[in-house]
Structure 1
Amino acid sequence: MSADQSLEKVPVPQDGYDFVVVSNRLPVDRDVDEDGNSTWRRSPGGLVSALAPVMAQRDGAWVGWHGAPDETLEPFDHDVFHLVPVSLSELEVKRYYEGFSNATLWPLYHDVIAPPEFHRTWWYAYRRVNERFARRAAETASQGATVWVQDYQLQLVPRMLRRLRPDVTIGFFNHIPFPPTEIYSQLPWRKAVLEGLTGADLIGFQRPGDAQNFQRCVRKYLGVQFTKGSARFSEDTADGESTEWTVNAGSYPISIDVESIKELASDPQVQARAREIREELGNPDTVFLGVDRLDYTKGIRHRIKAYGELLEDGEISVENSVLVQVASPSRERVDSYRQLRELVEGMVGRINGQFDTISHTAVRYLHHGYPFEEMVALYLAADVMLVTALRDGMNLVAKEYVAARQDRSGRLVLSEFTGAAEQLKQAVLVNPHDIDGLKSAMLHARDMSDAEARKRMSSMRRQVLTHDVVDWSHRFLDDLAAHAPEHEQGAAAGQDSAHDDGAAADTTPGADRD
């Protein structure tokens, strides 16, 4: 029996919470002043904004790492959140987060744009940390609570949590793509991960294709067939008892906090800052904008290469156009990210060295983060938004740009390999691997008539404003609640079992017994 199969049920806490979110990070960031005093502030982002009212209404708690290694904190309250910190050592951050999560799973799930690394020590750390998160959730949830687990760092938590607390209803949302079988098959621990995920009652993906990929992988490696998005699973305990549940898998495309963006875009100070940005850029005819984490999945190199060739071709000039590229720092201790930064900065340096004049710069490259107010000002200042990801679960920058353009101006060039492309069909869609096609798309967006641009933007705004992040969370949680009665009956039938077993993951190091 493997380590996670032998998880014993834990008692239901007397002071538990009815709604528990489990994610790699807590929804707060720590600020330290000059005197060394620390305070907490709510983290930015759509997920936190979407779940804050749910937390307030449903007596909620949030389980996650607080961001500092080798530090243990007791649970505490901040804003509307009851926060339950999970401690991680420096070595676990290196192996579980930087290693298995971001150097194994991230590249594998993004179509192997960068080669994934497979190390057993990383896998052991991932499994150990996932169990710690599962235990903290089990010790936090009340009887029959709803637990919503977030993202690829915690894919083993659902099945572990089911063994610890079979009375709770479990949701899981995968914020990144899920790869096709041919790519997923490379993962040495492919069965263990699938069995971890299938502990959930409902698994949400960004796109229908991701859900279909997941279902095909389950059929191939676990031998379980999904019918209309549902499949039955069971586990037998050592004493012969069993528990059964239904797993549902479907598409729930995430969105943004539309109201906060609309509010900022209407702010006279933000609008004034947008005009100031254009003046600082020399008031060019066209401002092209890219906003990304510095990540190899975002197609930043392809975008800069295409822009450089347009300069060489004479289709644009530094006098009439500028590319502003915001590349916020990301995972700087991971080798592939350090290498990407060197490549991007080298490309920018060569282009600027060749085309800059005393008064004009070809590419304004900004390698740091900005307050969200500044980002909205940049959205308002940009004529053409370039979202050229090579693979992206959704890409919320595209939706933020659309939400900010309340006058329905602006043009969006959008990679067809983003989840957003399935919803923002009126964007100028492009294959970013096709540099000539990307160049043509950039020129087409630049030269598009105002009437056509407004028509396209109006259509995209209807989609984004109707389907915001609050709508996303409600749809997922409503569907998850629909599975609760059957799940609770199944859990009650298995209450007397000491622990769950059966179709659990084979966690033998490096093994995958198909």
Structure 2
Amino acid sequence: MSPTADGTTGNATYEFVVVANRLPVDRVTGESGESSWKRAPGGLVTALAPVMENADGAWVGWHGAPDEEVAPFDNNGISIVPVPLSADEVNLYYEGFSNSTLWPLYHDVIVAPEFHRNWWDSYKTVNRRFAEATAATAAEGATVWVQDYQLQLVPKLLRDARPDLKIGFFNHIPFPSVDLFAQLPWRKRVLEGLLGADLIGFQRPSDASNFLRAVRRVLGFTVRGQQIHVQDGNGYPQRIARAESHPISIDTAQISRMAKDPEIQARAKEIRRGLGNPDVVLLGVDRLDYTKGIRHRLKAFGELIDDGRLEVGGAALVQVASPSRERVGEYMRLRDEIELTVGRINGEHDTVAHTAIRYLHHSYPFEEMVALYLAADVMLVTALRDGMNLVAKEYIAAHVDNKGALILSEFAGAADQLKHAFLVNPHDIDELKDKIVEAIHLPEPEATRRMRIMRRQISTNDVARWSRKFLESLAKTDAELSLDARNRADEERAGHAEADRTRPKDAE
């Protein structure tokens, strides 16, 4: 998928284009003042960067600094197309509509969403700018893959401007039930925006089902299976769009290779020594976000110490909470609450030699994260609502020795795949406490069996397979889709016939 036109990044067009709120690079400034670009952290970049490097495609997104325009450039095999945002737009479109309206609404209203018309106006403006930049970057008949909730209007804007394109959209966060989604004043516009895509992808089947129900109820469109009969403004059938589940994953092989690096293994041992060599190290790794259930795991851990089921020195909790949306009021309040909780638990239970909770409020290089995964005996993923949670998969990928245990919220998308984790309802503090103790005392053969099965699952379903499956589905022709529908209908009929044949007579 090479650039066409004049062959230069600034004027080239590409057969494969990824569109996301942020670019896959961050700008760094050296000691002498020179600036350069490095790979950005985060789940989306981790998932898509290897795909882009292999595809020789273009990535359209914001470079992270407001009120500044940056010319297109190349970085590690990816053509970078920056889209500028003003400081006001960052405040209104990103921190406002995206993260104070959509984010809480899509995460089951853990925090109440806010609805402001000026936020919505900015969201429309920025989405149009992204669509225009993408239309100028995509070659004739190109495949465009739009990412996530910040850009839900882009597919239709792009469809209107460039009907020749094959357009996919992937929603990395949950999609809410129709009763929650219906609260959004601009619900029709958002659904119409998404339906500009040929394929709308979600993390879980339940998210795809929620979307299909919303389309049926809010727009009144005909939905058959996974297919949506999109209508034009006069109510006439226009085209078919589809909603499917495509759970995202990680570069399992890369993390496994890093976990075998002697320097990273040595660093893992050093981390344990720095904690006073406790018998058990528990680990939480999250963005500082109210959806991650950090408060719940701190409460459970503190109560286990209070109850005498764990003791400081025998067990230590390391909580990495990387900074997130620090200018949003709800996040500032969350940070204060978590730091007060950590301070109270440590104040009551620390000894001269040991700390109960090591709280780390900053980001780390990925090599350090892999060392932390290796150092941890138990990983705590207690999200109250999560699209996937790639940290859970990263922890498993790092444990090439098949040791360790994963406690995983049933409300995280990863729970659909990682059935051999200790699945827990994080709202049930007593259950969470029991699962922590059970994971700590799990016999080694059973722990090895569970980890081996989960490692096999993420090795088979890695990020390369995720992107390949999505793009293969996006590329399907109408004839192939019709054949798929007939095959599914045949399978359903065969299943009903088998059920009828094997049903006990006394059940009739």
TM-score (norm 1): 0.89
Superposition pairs of residues 7-18 of structure 1, within 5 angstroms: 15-18=12-15
TM-superposition CA deviations, 1:240-287 (whole Å, max 9, x none)? 9x8832101010000011121111100011111111111111111111
Equivalent of residue 119 in structure 1, options 78, 101, 116: 116
Aligned position for 2:491:
none
Give 1:83's aligned amino acid: I
Aligned position for 1:108:
105
Does the CA-based 8 Å contact 1:46-1:469 persist in structure 2? no
How much does 1:224 deviate?
0.9
How much does 1:319 deviate?
2.1
Give 2:259's aligned amino acid: A
Does the CA-based 8 Å contact 2:396-2:455 persist in structure 1? yes
Aligned position for 1:471:
465
Superposition pairs of residues 67-82 of structure 1, within 5 angstroms: 67-82=64-79
How much does 1:82 deviate?
1.2
1:110–1:98 Cα change, 3 Å:
same
How much does 1:61 deviate?
1.1
Give 1:37's aligned amino acid: E
442-451 vs 45-54, greater mean Cα deviation: 45-54
The runs of at least 4 aligned residues of structure 1 exceeding 3 Å deviation read 44-59, 483-487
How far apart in 2 are the matches of 1:324 and 1:331? 22
1:198 correspondence with 2:195: yes
Give 1:266's aligned amino acid: K
Give 1:95's aligned amino acid: L
Aligned position for 2:180:
183
Aligned position for 1:346:
340
Equivalent of residue 208 in structure 1, options 205, 208, 221: 205
Does the CA-based 8 Å contact 1:47-1:469 persist in structure 2? no
Aligned position for 1:231:
228
What secondary structure, in the 3-state scheme, does the structure 2 residue paired with 1:297 have? Answer: helix
The higher-RCO structure (CA 8 Å, 6+ apart) is: 1
How much does 1:50 deviate?
4.7
How much does 1:182 deviate?
1.1
What secondary structure, in the 3-state scheme, does the structure 1 residue paired with 2:232 have? Answer: strand
How much does 1:226 deviate?
1.8
1:329 correspondence with 2:326: no
1:444 correspondence with 2:438: yes
Superposition pairs of residues 50-199 of structure 1, within 5 angstroms: 50-52=47-49, 54-56=51-53, 58-199=55-196
What secondary structure, in the 3-state scheme, does the structure 1 residue paired with 2:224 have? Answer: coil
How far apart in 1 are the matches of 2:259 and 2:143? 36
Does the CA-based 8 Å contact 2:53-2:76 persist in structure 1? no
Aligned position for 1:508:
none
Does the CA-based 8 Å contact 1:18-1:59 persist in structure 2? no
Does the CA-based 8 Å contact 1:236-1:243 persist in structure 2? no
What secondary structure, in the 3-state scheme, does the structure 2 residue paired with 1:482 have? Answer: coil
How far apart in 2 are the matches of 1:201 and 1:186? 26
How much does 1:43 deviate?
2.1
TM-superposition CA deviations, 1:309-332 (whole Å, max 9, x none)? 111101111021111111011010
Does the CA-based 8 Å contact 1:201-1:483 persist in structure 2? no
TM-score (norm 2): 0.90
TM-superposition CA deviations, 1:489-513 (whole Å, max 9, x none)? xxxxxxxxxxxxxxxxxxxxxxxxx
How far apart in 2 are the matches of 1:278 and 1:56? 36
How far apart in 2 are the matches of 1:86 and 1:423? 36
How much does 1:225 deviate?
2.6
How far apart in 2 are the matches of 1:356 and 1:235? 65
* Structure 1: unaligned runs, 5 residues or longer: 1-12, 488-514
54-63 vs 281-290, greater mean Cα deviation: 54-63
1:69–1:408 Cα change, 3 Å:
same
How far apart in 2 are the matches of 1:419 and 1:206? 6
How far apart in 2 are the matches of 1:53 and 1:375? 19
Does the CA-based 8 Å contact 2:43-2:390 persist in structure 1? no
How far apart in 2 are the matches of 1:37 and 1:117? 41
Count of aligned pairs between the two proteins: 472
Give 1:235's aligned amino acid: D
Aligned position for 1:259:
253
Equivalent of residue 296 in structure 1, options 273, 290, 295: 290
How far apart in 1 are the matches of 2:367 and 2:25? 19
How much does 1:223 deviate?
0.3
TM-superposition CA deviations, 1:415-441 (whole Å, max 9, x none)? 000000110001111000001111011
Give 1:276's aligned amino acid: E
1:397 correspondence with 2:394: no
How far apart in 1 are the matches of 2:479 and 2:166? 9
How much does 1:60 deviate?
1.5
* Structure 2: unaligned runs, 5 residues or longer: 1-9, 482-508
How much does 1:483 deviate?
4.1
Superposition pairs of residues 421-440 of structure 1, within 5 angstroms: 421-440=415-434
How much does 1:52 deviate?
4.2
How much does 1:14 deviate?
8.4
How far apart in 1 are the matches of 2:45 and 2:242? 24
How much does 1:34 deviate?
2.7
Equivalent of residue 33 in structure 1, options 11, 30, 37: 30
1:305–1:49 Cα change, 3 Å:
closer
How far apart in 2 are the matches of 1:51 and 1:360? 40
How much does 1:395 deviate?
0.4
How much does 1:79 deviate?
1.8
How much does 1:56 deviate?
4.7
What secondary structure, in the 3-state scheme, does the structure 2 residue paired with 1:232 have? Answer: strand
How much does 1:48 deviate?
3.5
* Identity rate, percent: 64
Give 2:34's aligned amino acid: N
How much does 1:17 deviate?
1.0
Does the CA-based 8 Å contact 2:51-2:464 persist in structure 1? no
Does the CA-based 8 Å contact 1:104-1:117 persist in structure 2? yes
Aligned position for 2:307:
313
